[in-house]
Structure 1
C-alpha cells in the first residue's frame, strides 16, 4: 500500500490522534496478551513468490472454505491467496483472484485494489472489502501535482466471490462502501479518503469493521466504526456518528447519491486497526494495531486494546516493540514490522473472528536498505497467550 508515503502521511497525523487518545479516559485493563514463542515464517518473498508482486502488504485475513481448507489474504494489489489444509501447510496459490486494472478513470474504481477483509457463511460465497487507491499522478492530466501523496484518493469498495475465494467479481456499477464526499480532483495536495478496513466481525444481527479516514471539512481524522445488518449488501454499511450508526459515505461519482453526516473517530487508535477478535470465554473484543512512539505510545511497536462494545476501549498496551512502518526508516536501525493481526487456528467461526486463550500474531517484517523500505518482506506468525477478565 505504498508503504513509505503512507507512513509519512500517518506520522504527520499522529499528533492529533495521539492527543485524542491521551485525552480519553479508558477504564482499567480488561486483558493481558503475552508472546509465548518464537516467530515462524509463513511466507518469504524471495523464496515463495509467484512473481514480483507477491509481498505481504496488508494484515492477514483468513477464512475456511467449503472443504474446510484455509485461505489467507493480505498480499499485493495483484491479489492472490495463501491456501492449505491448515496453518502449518500454507503455500501461495499463483492464481490471481482479483487484479488491479490501473484504470485512469476514477469513477471506475479500478486503479489499485487490495482484498483487506472477507466474510463467508458457507465457504462458497465470499464477500470482501477492498482498499482501493486512485493515484492521479500516474494518469496524465488527472492531478495538479506530480507527487504521489498530493494525488492519492482512497475508497473502500466491496466485491464478491461465488467460488470460495478462487475469483472475485467487481460490482457494476462499483460497490462503494465508503468514499469521501467529493471527487478525486477536489482537495488535491494531500492524501484523501477512507482506507485500510479491519477484518469483519459479527455480533448478534450485525456485522462491523473499523476503517481510517484522512479527515476533511466536518469530518475529523481517525478510525471509525462501521455497522451493517446485511453483510451481503454493500449499501447497508453505516458509520457511528456519536449517537447512532447513521453516517453514510456513498459514491460521489454516482448521481443521486448524497452523503449523510460524519463519523466520530474511536479512541485510542492512532492509525488503522490490524484486526479485531472476540474472546470466546468472555465476549470481550481485542484489537491489535501498530503505532509509532509518541504521546500515549511510549515505544514503537504493536499494541492491543480491549472493549466490551467496540466503541469504548481500554488503555492500549505494548505487545511487540520495534520500529514500524510509521517510523522513519532512516532511523530504524534494521527491519520494520507492520500489518499485525490475531488469528486463532482453533477459531469456532469460519471467518476467524474469535479467539480463545491462545492465538497467533501474524505480521510482516520489511527489510530496509539505506533509507528505503524494500519489497524484501516476510510474513511471520508468533504464538500469543490471552487472558481476559470477566
Structure 2
C-alpha cells in the first residue's frame, strides 16, 4: 500500500467520460455518452500454448468516474488504496470496497450497467478502524480490507492486509534507521461483518492469522518483509474449495538458493474449505496445499520448524500480476489481473511479460524478459493471465496502457497521471460473491491525479467496460 489510511465503503456516483493522457489515439471520440457501447480499442494478445493461432483479446470501452475524491470523499483521507472488491448484500445492493488504512468507507449501488455508473459513498461510519498498535505481535497496526466472501449477504468474511510500520512508532530500537522500507512487516488477518458490510471487526488474536511468514518482526531488517496485497477469494467450481493469492516479500525461509539471504519475491496460493475460519488456510508448498498458516510468535515460543509453515512462490512468476483473481466462465479458467510490461511494436499482437517485483525477481527460463525491463522502452499496461490450476499460468495478455504508481510518484509534477490497482466486476453473475467474470465485465482501477500536493490523496475510482474474445 502507498501509505496508511482508514477503510471506507464507497458508492459510485459519477458517469463522466475521460481520456487518460497519452493513453490511446482511439479515445478521441469523446462524443459517446455514458453507457454507449462504442469501443475504445481492441488488441489481440500473443497466442498461448495449446491455443493454436487463437488468443484472448479485450475490447475496452469509455472511462467513467465511479468515485470522485474532490466531491465525494468523507474526509481528506478518504481515497482508494486497494483494488475494488465487490459483493452483493442481502438486499440485492452491489457494495464495492476500495479503501485505505486511515479512512475506510464503502460504495453502494443497486446495480452496475452501462446506463448507471452511480454509486453512493457511505460516510456514516468507517468499515474498520486501524489500531495503530506499536506491538507487532498484536497484528493490529494499519489495516486494509482486501478480500470479502459471504454465503448469505449478511455475514461477510474478510481478509485484511495488516502493515506494521516500525518507523511510525516512538519505541526505542523498533526501527533504528527510521526508514519505512527497513521496518515494514505485513501479515494477512481475518475479520468479519455481521451487519451486511456496514462494519468489520478483527477476529480475536488467537484466531486472527489467515496467512503470515513464519518469522517475527525483525527490527531494522533493511527491507520489506511479509505476505501482502492479497487478491480476492475465489471458489473453485471443480473442487468447491476457496482460494486466494498473495505476494510473498523477502522471506527468510522457503524456496531459495544457498547463496540468497532471503528467498525470491513472488506469488503464493492459499486454500481452505471454510472461509469463516481464518485459521483454516493452507499454502501451496511446492507439492500441494500442505503448509499450515500459523501465528509466527506462537510458533517461535513452541519451537516449531518455520520451514513447515512457509508458502512457496509459484513457478515462473516473476510478476506483478498480484492484484485481482477470478474464475472466468468465458474461458473456463482462473483469471489473474495485474500489471505488466508490453512490447507494442506490433500493435495487433502485443507481447507482454509480467512486471518484476523486487531485487530477487527471477526470469522465465524460456523467454528473454530482460528486453522488457529497459526503462526507456517498456510500455506499462494492465494485463490478465489464465490458468487451469492456479499454479501454472499463461504469459500476460494486454488490456490497456497505464502509468504505474512508481512512475507517477516521480513524474506527477510534470502533469503525469497514474493508474493502478486493477480489478474486474461482473454484476451479471448470480449469487452474493462476484468472484466470477463472464464475457463482459467492468474494469475498475484507481486514477492518480497529476500535480498533487497531498501525497497522492487526490485519487478517484474509475471504471471501463471490457469484453473478452477468444
Q: TM-score, normalised by structure 2?
A: 0.73
User: What is the DSSP-based 3-state SS (H/G/I as helix, E as strand, rest coil) of the residue aligned with 2:379?
Assistant: coil
Equivalent residue pairs, number: 368
Query: Structure 1: which 5+ runs fail to align?
Result: 5-25
Partner of 1:202: 235
Evaluate the alpha carbon distance shift between residue 372 and residue 165 of structure 1 in structure 2; reply closer, same or farther with a 3 A threshold. Answer: closer
3-state SS of paired residue (2:126): strand
Q: Any conservation in 1 of the 2:385–2:395 contact (CA below 8 Å)?
A: yes
Aligned to 1:96, the other structure's residue is in SS state coil
| Other structure's SS at 2:62 match | coil
Residue matched to 2:142: 112
Return 83-92 or 233-242, whichever deviates more.
83-92
Structure 1 window deviating more from structure 2 (64-73 vs 308-317): it is 308-317
Which stretch has the larger CA shift, 150-159 or 312-321? 312-321
In 1, are the aligned partners of 2:245 and 2:268 still within 8 Å (CA)?
A: yes
Match of 1:167 in 2: 199
Pairs within 5 Å for 1:278-293:
278-291=327-340
**Pairing 1:308–2:388 present:** yes
Match of 2:22 in 1: none
Task: Tell me, in whole angstroms, the C-alpha distance in 1 between the residues paired with 2:394 and 2:386.
Answer: 6
Matches within 5 A, 1:251-266: 251-254=295-298, 255-256=301-302, 258=304, 259=306, 260-266=308-314
Q: Which of 27, 39, 55 is matched with 2:49 structurally?
A: 27
Partner of 2:212: 179
**1: distance between equivalents of 2:169 and 2:391?**
40
Is the Cα–Cα contact under 8 Å of residues 301 and 337 in structure 1 kept in the other structure?
Answer: no
Alignment match of 2:397 (pick from 317, 329, 334): 317
2:120 to 79, 91, 115: 91
Match runs of 1:203-282 below 5 Å: 203=236, 204-219=239-254, 220-254=264-298, 255-256=301-302, 258=304, 259=306, 260-266=308-314, 267-268=316-317, 270-271=319-320, 273-282=322-331
The 5-angstrom pairing of residues 117-156 of structure 1 reads 117-140=147-170, 141=172, 142-156=174-188
Contact 2:86 2:434 in 1 (8 A): yes
**TM-aligned CA distance change 1:262 to 1:197, over 3 Å:** same
Q: Distance in 2 between matches of 1:245 and 1:79?
A: 33
Q: Which residue of 1 aligns with 2:437?
A: 355
Cα separation, 1, equivalents of 2:318 and 2:154:
34
Question: CA distance change for structure 1 residues 374 and 281 in 2, over 3 Å: closer, same or farther?
Answer: closer
Considering Cα pairs closer than 8 Å and 6+ residues apart, tell me whether 1 or 2 has the greater RCO.
Answer: 1
Once residues 68 and 257 of structure 1 are traced to their aligned partners in structure 2, the CA distance between those partners, rounded to angstroms, is: 49
Alpha-carbon offset, residue 318 of structure 1:
1.9
CA shift, 1:185, in A, is: 2.8
Gap change, CA 1:185 and 1:264, over 3 Å in 2: closer
Write 1 or 2 for the structure with the bigger share of strand: 1
SS at 1:36's partner residue? strand
Give the secondary structure class of the aligned counterpart of 1:37. Answer: strand
Q: Secondary structure at the match of 1:211?
A: strand
- How far does the alpha carbon of each residue in 1:241-265 deviate from its partner, in whole angstroms, 9 at most, with x for none? 1210112332122344844243232
CA RMSD of aligned residues (A): 2.4
Relative distance call for 1:109 and 1:31 in structure 2 (3 A) is farther
Select between 218-227 and 255-264 the one with higher mean Cα deviation: 255-264
In structure 2, the gaps of 5 or more residues are: 5-47, 255-263, 343-354, 356-368, 373-377
Task: Determine if contact 1:35/1:382 at 8 Å carries over to the other structure.
Answer: no
